[in-house]
Amino acid sequence: MSEARKIVECVVNYSEGRDMDKIEKIVDPYRQAENVKLLNYEADKDYNRVVVTIMGEPEAVKNSVVESVGIAAELIDMTKHEGQHSRMGATDVVPFIPIKNMSMAEAVELAKETAKAINEAHDIPVFLYEKAASTPARENLAKVRKGQFEGMPEKLQDPEWHPDFGKNEIHPTAGVTAVGARMPLVAYNIDLDTQNVEIANKIARAIRHSGGGFRYIKAGGVEIKERGITQVTMNITDYTKTSVYRVFETVKMEAKRYGVNVLGSEVVGLVPMEALIDSAAYYLGLYGFSMDKVIETSLME
């Protein structure tokens, strides 16, 4: 009997959200690759960032990522990049998520192989983060990315921050990339009807783990000038322990302190169906609702 087919997801973040011609070229390797499916890509002009979600067999995903990273390095000049989102490289982060017949240990090994290949092919220094981190200090992406592109040349001179792959010098235009392995997360933004970004920052501090909030929330405030609003932008790193509805309701409660309303929210990239079940049950007052009551669950079995 043949070995069960392994499936991995990869959610690659690139520092380009405005030039669709460049974005299409960066995404193209995923369209062309065999055993890789391009699931979704969403560009954000304010963040100047595109999030690309792919899924497929591990080796095929790795090869397509390495090819796309090379294209991004050619097309994106980080010395000219501006945006609301923290960033340190043309290809900023490359997380691998085990989906089917694949362990976290195997996803970690894939992350290490991909990081090595990126450095060897494109001379871009790479940090390993989250479950693939080489030291506890590198598990948190925010710590790895602290200093951003502009501060990386000095940061890499610190012996504690020598890249896991490559020299302690940034790529002059493509910067530095982080490659890791993690469980599925929900990238989630909540819109506020205020242009005062300090209010968004205060709310973000109240809900994130480092500020005494929810254990599985990383959050910050950003200004969306084009729309005249601000956002509380966050990652829910374990939606099974911190539900989407709980975060949404808490932000609404905190916003009232400042006379601010929540306008709505958005999911960036793809979201596991299970992450929405709790919210549906909460807002509809459903009893005993679960994935088993969703028709599509039976189709996927």
Q: Are 64 and 165 found together in one domain?
A: yes
Q: How many CB atoms lie within 10 A of CB 62?
A: 22
pLDDT at 301 over 80: no
Taking a C-beta distance cutoff of 8 angstroms, is the pair 141, 154 a contact? no
- Residue 234 vs residues 187, 237, 289: alpha-carbon distances, Å: 6, 9, 26
Is 2 inside a domain boundary? no
Place of tokens 């306008």: 263
Within 13 A of 10's CA, how many CA atoms are on the CB side? 36
pLDDT per residue as tens digits for the range 105-131: 999 999 999 999 999 999 999 999 999
Number of structural domains (the chain) is: 2
User: Domain range spanning residue 106?
Assistant: 7-181
Q: Which of 150, 181, 212 is the last residue of a domain?
A: 181
pLDDT for res 93: 97
**What is the percent of the chain where pLDDT is above 70?**
98
pLDDT for res 1: 36
Within 13 A of 163's CA, how many CA atoms are on the CB side? 28
Q: Which of 181, 208, 232 is the last residue of a domain?
A: 181
Is 1 inside a domain boundary? no
Label residue 256 by pLDDT band (50, 70, 90). Answer: very high
Q: Which of 113, 148, 181 is the last residue of a domain?
A: 181
pLDDT per residue as tens digits for the range 27-64: 999 999 999 999 999 899 989 999 999 999 999 999 99
Q: Are 190 and 177 found together in one domain?
A: no
Q: Are 154 and 269 found together in one domain?
A: no
Q: Which of 85, 162, 171, 209 is catalytic?
A: 85
85 is catalytic: yes
pLDDT per residue as tens digits for the range 159-200: 999 999 999 999 999 999 999 999 888 999 999 999 999 999
Q: Are 242 and 132 found together in one domain?
A: no
pLDDT for res 300: 56
Average pLDDT, the chain: 94
CA gap 200, 239 in Å, rounded: 22
pLDDT at 137 over 60: yes
Q: Are 198 and 176 found together in one domain?
A: no
Tell me how long the chain is: 301
CATH number of the domain that 149 lies in? Answer: 3.30.990.10
Q: Are 177 and 64 found together in one domain?
A: yes
pLDDT at 102 over 80: yes
